[in-house]
Chains A and B, each alone.
Chain A
Amino acid sequence: MLLNREELKTVGEQYKAAFDAQQKKILVCAGTGCVAGGSLEIHAELKRLIEEKGLHCAVTLEKEPHDETVGIKKSGCHGFCEMGPLVRLEPQGWLYTKVKLEDCAEIVTESIFGGRFVERLGYKQDGKTFPTQEEIPFYKNQNRLVLEHCGQIDATSITEYLAIGGYKSFEKALFDMAPEEIVKTIEEASLRGRGGGGYPTGHKWKQVMRQKAEQKYVVCNGDEGDPGAFMDRSVMEGDPHRMLEGMMIAGIACGASEGYIYVRAEYPLAVERLEGAIREARKFGLLGENILGSGRAFDIKISKGAGAFVCGEGSALTASIEGKRGMPRVKPPRTVEQGLFGQPTVLNNVETFANVPLIIKNGAEWYKKIGPEKSPGTKAFALTGNIENTGLIEVPMGTTLREIIYEIGGGMRGGENFKAVQIGGPSGGCLTQEHLDMPLDFDSLSKAGAMIGSGGLVVMDDHTCMVEVARFFMNFTQNESCGKCVPCREGTKRMLAILEKIVSGQGEPEDISMLLELADMISATALCGLGKTAAFPVVSTIKYFRDEYEAHVVEKRCPTKTCQKLKTIVIDATLCRGCSKCARVCPVGAITGKIKEPFVIDAGKCIKCGACLESCAFKAIKED
């Protein structure tokens, strides 16, 4: 238990010395992706092998370090999930990719003891091997601030966080800054909420600070629900103390003594790391009563959500914490006035809070130099889809899509042509070729009819059917609608029905205008932000790819040949040798013919399963 700021300084220095003294470090990625790939077993195996060879292994920081110690750590997500499990070696900065349990012996003998790079485990691109993490194009073009510790320190250890200067911002805010000053700094830094709306964080804090109430709350929204998004999960898993520190600073600034982290139960690792982090922070006296002798109190509780997308909406989230059905309510009153348990509440998302210690430490001026003036800072994106390098990235706001896709992402997978990205998940829209050089920030995206959202970035090549994409997101939205307001509950249901009709070849030309009419009504009248944006994917795909919709409804054709029910499979009589193999594999007996004469497919019977396509040795069967 640290009793005052001097003690915090002292232990910080002690742990820093211990951290610096560890010459050799192995950082095994312990993010969810790599854990699923077996990284925890790799961590144990590396430790066993090193100890077998007589070296001391330190899984925690020791105040009196051993001479020949190898620090072996479970780090946060390195981001390059595509290449996991990942193992980073220091001091060299080598990054080993797709490491298997069998590779551990070689890593230990060659690298730890021999000091040699294992070529075959290094990352390769365009015939070139990149031994160090920093050289790899995926990392080289990023600017990792929020994610800076992910992959660099042990995610499960408060001592490592303290060693690299953690909780110094909190200490500064607690002792050297008046609440007004903290709020002013955040305001001047123009930090905007990373959860989707981009609302100015400092402004929000100021409103809560000015409320007169006995009890106020700081709530962290860790209910990351966009399909394919995992930025917040990675921060919670990889650098939990950074986020706690941000929440604690908010508590001091706004006069709140209690904080809640709302995190979905499907993130068990994040829950575990957060619980551990809170426990350790309490043990060190950084959470609880009379923190560091300041007389101030702040504590944090975890509230696990059941995974409803709508619980990412502020009022639904606070209702869920209160034990009620997660359903948005009408506003006013706003959350800053009457949020959790009816009290003034600061509600920010994980990434927003993780930005706070940086701003307090380096100042607003420093922060504003990163990215564009009106939305400074960096943004983490979950990069997925038809792209070479998928994973978690962080770039300055204002970076263009082209840089993200072609430099960090390594270009389109298989050299295919870029078609569009879906940004902002089910509430967002798509961006196309014409937007490749547009800077990604809150304002330019909303001008383009999309939104940054929480940072999901799904890259699509020209084999992607945009109608199907719209159907996918509408299906998601309809399933995740809370069901409260009629436009969202009934409107999205009808939009989904129409989209399903279109992709199955039953669409009619007037369906497109009905989709737009429904979308307009839903956007104008829905109760909450999720409802108002529910139709965006449809509107934006119609805007940019109307021809695809028309091909579906008029010609009954899917231009990308994605929609199963719109496919016709035909046998090219000039290529068919009449071997009958296709007829034998057809599960519904749709193919008939005489041996050594061209076979034919009965389109009425064909279920378009594609079995014949794969079976034909002469490439005589084609999709049309």
Chain B
Amino acid sequence: MSTEFMIIDNMPVELAGEKNVLDVIRKAGIELPTFCYHSELSVYGACRMCVVEDKWGTIHASCSTPPKAGMELRTNTPRLRKYRKMILELFLANHCRDCTTCEKNGKCKLQELAQRFGIKKVRFDNTSPDADMDTSSRCITRDKSKCILCGDCVRVCEEVQNVGAIDFAHRGSKMQVTTAFDEPIARTNCVGCGQCAAVCPTGAIVIKNDTSKLWKELSDENTKVLVQIAPAVRVGIGEAFGLPEGKNAMGRIVAALRRIGFNEVFDTTVGADLTVLEETGEFLGRLQKGEKLPLFTSCCPAWVKYAEFNYPDLIDHISTCRSPMQMFGSVLKEHYSHSHKKVVVVAVMPCTAKKEEAARDEFKEDGVPYVDYVISTQELIQMIREAGIVFSEIEPEAVDMPFGNTSGAGVIFGVTGGVTEAVVRRISDDKSISALRAIAFTGIRGMEGVKEAKLDVGGREVNIAIVSGLKNADDLIKQIQSGEKSYDFIEVMACPGGCICGAGQPVATGEGKKNRSSGLYEADRMSNIKRSEENPVIMALYGGLLKGKTHQLLHVEYHRKG
């Protein structure tokens, strides 16, 4: 077949099965502006910023126009520029313009495009509404007055996460994105995954910011502030400071945290190693008894909440293991229980749902949480900037003892399939290097939303599924319920791609996601401990602190919600 071309701004551009003209134009190196187009969501076609003009002068929205060979389009005519500017003016006339005090300042798409198109004056009356805040959620903060109604949050919530906590209501200029019955978001079926905040182009939905309380703790001399850093954070933070995407910046994070004033700095990977041991034990036990299978992983709090709401009957199937953050949190509190200072445990997470997990009653002792503060990667970036630390120039440092060793199995928890791979490494009898390498090729790696693998455990074939994205999880559960599929072990992560694409991270593009995943696998390769059970820290814990306390400190019982 001969190659087909389109003509864009007088340049021939080859067609390679793109779904729409917008993708072709972007391939041609033209960054057409959009608010409502996301390749992983359905095409909504509402912002009309991506309009193009054909040779007859007809205007098309490029996001929703299928490419055709021979099509001739212009992307930058005087008319198009006029329309785009007017649309921006219309947005701005209705939008709060206090950019400097907005949480999204510098990361706002509206701000960026207004600047790009040189909007100096808005010719319409300023009718920007007063702030209309919903601070009910521990994970996200909504401000309806900053919403531009692009619908990205609505679609990600419905299409990717199958939650549908928010939707449009009302008509015309009274339209808004809201919850059912306009309830506070915390009183809905929101699972706190924060993907809405990740796609929101403005400050209408942002991650809840907990840094100011944390700064106070840090300045209190009578408080010992401990911090643990999740695996995904180290490969998500660097790009904000000009490091290559996906570059492992763990050493720099540790150094930065010490400078900021954290007293002890640890790696959540220790918690992941504990999880591997506990969860493997639990899985093998269930497998032996043949009960409560499939076993679902419990690391992801958004998934746990989703199951509580939608599949209360599956609660028993969810692992009783606390998440790595919570396991490590309780170990840390136990370890420092004799400290003469007040001990505060902080977790730096790629996640918004972790903020709510830390506040769950199950994870409190006498009303005091095991993990006192959860800040997202983005909040940490802000703290580093506020402290004036030049991240790219700081010398890397190592984490503190006695939790200074981690395994490669634990560090890959941050990417979809990582938990499973770590468990498989533990289960697998063949401990040779070649067997370890072979595990990587069983189908458990990769950024696909649904993956399957088979494993031989003592002569029994074990069926494994790995899903990321709650819609994928829901589809899979329905297939299991209908008898179409059958599994023994299922890893679920709410965010597509796993924690590296968590809503607490800086937003990643397709390539960026791959780079982050490579970053974690590289950390695994460079680690001299491959398996969780080989981590001396873990061995020491089982021989000491955890003796007789594994259930109390590492497990949890979830209850039906819904």
Footprint of B on A, CB under 8 Å? 308, 310, 325, 327, 329-332, 478-487, 489-494, 497, 514, 517-518, 521, 524-527
| Nearest residue, chain B, Cβ from A523 | B59
CB pair A494–B124 under 8 Å, yes or no, is yes
State A484–B47 Cα separation when bound (angstroms).
Answer: 8
CB pair A489–B48 under 8 Å, yes or no, is no
| Nearest residue, chain B, Cβ from A327 | B168
Shortest Cβ distance from residue A333 to the other chain B in the assembled complex, whole angstroms: 10
Contact of A527 with B83 at beta-carbon distance under 8 Å, contacts A481-B172, A494-B124 already known? no
Pick the most buried of B66, B79, B83, B171: most chain A CB atoms within 10 A of its CB.
Answer: B171
8 A-B interface contacts by CB (under 8 A): A308-B171, A330-B64, A478-B173, A479-B172, A484-B44, A491-B90, A492-B173, A525-B83
B94 at the interface (CB under 8 A from A): yes
A residues near B520, Cβ cutoff 8 Å: none
B547 at the interface (CB under 8 A from A): no
State A308–B174 Cα separation when bound (angstroms).
Answer: 14
* CB proximity to A under 8 Å, residues B356-373: none
B93 at the interface (CB under 8 A from A): yes
CB pair A521–B149 under 8 Å, yes or no, is no
Partner of A483, one of B66, B79, B90, B171: B171
CB pair A325–B87 under 8 Å, yes or no, is no
State A487–B47 Cα separation when bound (angstroms).
Answer: 8
Footprint of A on B, CB under 8 Å? 43-48, 51, 59, 61, 63-64, 66, 79, 82-83, 86-87, 90-91, 93-94, 123-125, 148-149, 151, 167-168, 170-175
CB pair B87–A525 under 8 Å, yes or no, is yes
State A482–B175 Cα separation when bound (angstroms).
Answer: 8
CB pair A525–B171 under 8 Å, yes or no, is no
Contact of A481 with B173 at beta-carbon distance under 8 Å, contacts A325-B167, A330-B64 already known? yes
CB pair A332–B172 under 8 Å, yes or no, is no
Partner of B174, one of A327, A483, A492, A497: A483
CB pair B123–A514 under 8 Å, yes or no, is yes
B residues near A486, Cβ cutoff 8 Å: 46-48, 87, 90-91, 148-149
State A480–B87 Cα separation when bound (angstroms).
Answer: 20
State A310–B175 Cα separation when bound (angstroms).
Answer: 14
| Nearest residue, chain A, Cβ from B48 | A525
Contact of A478 with B172 at beta-carbon distance under 8 Å, contacts A330-B45, A525-B83 already known? yes
CB pair B45–A329 under 8 Å, yes or no, is yes
Shortest Cβ distance from residue A511 to the other chain B in the assembled complex, whole angstroms: 11
CB pair A490–B94 under 8 Å, yes or no, is yes
Main secondary structure on A side of the interface with B? helix
Contact of A525 with B51 at beta-carbon distance under 8 Å, contacts A486-B46, A490-B94 already known? yes
CB pair A483–B173 under 8 Å, yes or no, is yes
| Nearest residue, chain A, Cβ from B63 | A330
Partner of B64, one of A331, A478, A493: A331
CB pair B45–A332 under 8 Å, yes or no, is no
State A481–B171 Cα separation when bound (angstroms).
Answer: 6
Partner of A485, one of B45, B124, B125: B45
State A191–B79 Cα separation when bound (angstroms).
Answer: 37
Contact of A332 with B171 at beta-carbon distance under 8 Å, contacts A484-B46, A486-B46, A521-B86 already known? no
Contact of A493 with B43 at beta-carbon distance under 8 Å, contacts A487-B87, A521-B86, A524-B79 already known? no
| Nearest residue, chain A, Cβ from B94 | A490
CB-based closest 5 A-B pairs = A483-B175, A330-B64, A330-B45, A490-B90, A481-B172
| Nearest residue, chain A, Cβ from B60 | A525
CB pair B93–A494 under 8 Å, yes or no, is yes
Shortest Cβ distance from residue A229 to the other chain B in the assembled complex, whole angstroms: 20
Partner of B173, one of A308, A330, A490: A490
Partner of A521, one of B44, B83, B167: B83
CB pair B46–A527 under 8 Å, yes or no, is yes
B residues near A331, Cβ cutoff 8 Å: 64
State A485–B51 Cα separation when bound (angstroms).
Answer: 12
CB pair A485–B46 under 8 Å, yes or no, is yes
Shortest Cβ distance from residue A480 to the other chain B in the assembled complex, whole angstroms: 7
Partner of B125, one of A308, A478, A490, A497: A497
| Nearest residue, chain A, Cβ from B176 | A483
CB pair B173–A485 under 8 Å, yes or no, is no
| Nearest residue, chain A, Cβ from B87 | A486
State A459–B132 Cα separation when bound (angstroms).
Answer: 45
State A325–B151 Cα separation when bound (angstroms).
Answer: 13
B residues near A481, Cβ cutoff 8 Å: 171-173
Shortest Cβ distance from residue A465 to the other chain B in the assembled complex, whole angstroms: 23
Shortest Cβ distance from residue B517 to the other chain A in the assembled complex, whole angstroms: 33
State A486–B45 Cα separation when bound (angstroms).
Answer: 10
Shortest Cβ distance from residue B77 to the other chain A in the assembled complex, whole angstroms: 11
A residues near B124, Cβ cutoff 8 Å: 494, 497
State A525–B90 Cα separation when bound (angstroms).
Answer: 14
Partner of A493, one of B48, B82, B173: B173
Shortest Cβ distance from residue B86 to the other chain A in the assembled complex, whole angstroms: 5
A residues near B59, Cβ cutoff 8 Å: 524-525
CB pair A527–B48 under 8 Å, yes or no, is yes
Pick the most buried of B48, B63, B79: most chain A CB atoms within 10 A of its CB.
Answer: B48
Partner of B43, one of A330, A485, A497, A524: A330
B residues near A489, Cβ cutoff 8 Å: 149, 172-173, 175
B residues near A514, Cβ cutoff 8 Å: 123
Shortest Cβ distance from residue B368 to the other chain A in the assembled complex, whole angstroms: 45
B residues near A487, Cβ cutoff 8 Å: 48, 87, 90
State A482–B148 Cα separation when bound (angstroms).
Answer: 14
Contact of A521 with B168 at beta-carbon distance under 8 Å, contacts A485-B48, A489-B149 already known? no
State A27–B542 Cα separation when bound (angstroms).
Answer: 94
Besides the known contacts A332-B64, A521-B87, A525-B51, 7 further A-B residue pairs in the complex with CB atoms under 8 A apart: A331-B64, A478-B172, A483-B170, A485-B45, A489-B149, A489-B175, A521-B82
State A480–B148 Cα separation when bound (angstroms).
Answer: 19
CB pair A490–B51 under 8 Å, yes or no, is no
B residues near A494, Cβ cutoff 8 Å: 90, 93, 124
CB pair B168–A325 under 8 Å, yes or no, is yes
CB pair A480–B171 under 8 Å, yes or no, is yes
| Nearest residue, chain A, Cβ from B123 | A514
State A308–B82 Cα separation when bound (angstroms).
Answer: 31
Partner of B168, one of A329, A483, A517: A483
B residues near A327, Cβ cutoff 8 Å: 168
Shortest Cβ distance from residue B21 to the other chain A in the assembled complex, whole angstroms: 12
State A521–B173 Cα separation when bound (angstroms).
Answer: 17
CB pair A332–B175 under 8 Å, yes or no, is no
A residues near B93, Cβ cutoff 8 Å: 490, 494
A residues near B45, Cβ cutoff 8 Å: 329-330, 485, 527
A residues near B175, Cβ cutoff 8 Å: 482-484, 489
| Nearest residue, chain A, Cβ from B20 | A330
State A491–B93 Cα separation when bound (angstroms).
Answer: 11
Shortest Cβ distance from residue A514 to the other chain B in the assembled complex, whole angstroms: 7
A residues near B61, Cβ cutoff 8 Å: 330, 525, 527
State A100–B91 Cα separation when bound (angstroms).
Answer: 57
A residues near B148, Cβ cutoff 8 Å: 486
A residues near B172, Cβ cutoff 8 Å: 478-483, 489, 492-493
| Nearest residue, chain B, Cβ from A501 | B125
| Nearest residue, chain A, Cβ from B173 | A493
CB pair A517–B86 under 8 Å, yes or no, is yes
State A344–B63 Cα separation when bound (angstroms).
Answer: 23
State A224–B193 Cα separation when bound (angstroms).
Answer: 43
| Nearest residue, chain A, Cβ from B169 | A325
CB pair B48–A479 under 8 Å, yes or no, is no
State A330–B42 Cα separation when bound (angstroms).
Answer: 10
| Nearest residue, chain B, Cβ from A489 | B173
B residues near A310, Cβ cutoff 8 Å: 171
Shortest Cβ distance from residue A226 to the other chain B in the assembled complex, whole angstroms: 17
State A524–B46 Cα separation when bound (angstroms).
Answer: 14
Shortest Cβ distance from residue B169 to the other chain A in the assembled complex, whole angstroms: 9
Shortest Cβ distance from residue A264 to the other chain B in the assembled complex, whole angstroms: 15
State A310–B124 Cα separation when bound (angstroms).
Answer: 26
A residues near B94, Cβ cutoff 8 Å: 490
State A483–B148 Cα separation when bound (angstroms).
Answer: 11
Shortest Cβ distance from residue A484 to the other chain B in the assembled complex, whole angstroms: 5
B residues near A480, Cβ cutoff 8 Å: 171-172
